[in-house]
Amino acid sequence: MVKRKPILLVDESDDSLKAIDLLKKLGIEYVEFNIKKFEESCCGGDLPTTKAPSLFAVEGIFKGLEKISEYTSLNKDVDFDIQSESAYW
């Protein structure tokens, strides 16, 4: 089974840069998505409910640098072989 990489939503803030550095330093593979590019290409305005940095992972959603730090300390040895309805999102 293919392991899903977490998605890191970032902007140009210091916290976003720190989140990127933290994940790279710990060797955690992720997909980076700049929220400003999404706003420009899709909606043409601000997305007030989206906080950057945020991390979307199988283990949950982690908003803000503090929660992303908590994610890095989770036990990643849990087996997620069960295919859920969200397997294709």
**Backbone Cα Rg of the chain:** 14
Interval 48-73: pLDDT, tens: 566 789 999 999 999 999 999 999 99
Strands (DSSP E) found in 1-89: 7-10, 31-34, 54-57, 60-63
Report the distance separating Cα 12 and Cα 52, nearest Å: 9
Nearest to 4 by CA among 82, 85, 80, 62: 80
Report the distance separating Cα 42 and Cα 30, nearest Å: 22
pTM above the 0.75 mark?
A: no
More confident residue, 16 or 81: 16
CATH of 7-75, one of 3.20.10.10, 3.40.30.10, 3.40.190.10, 3.40.50.620: 3.40.30.10
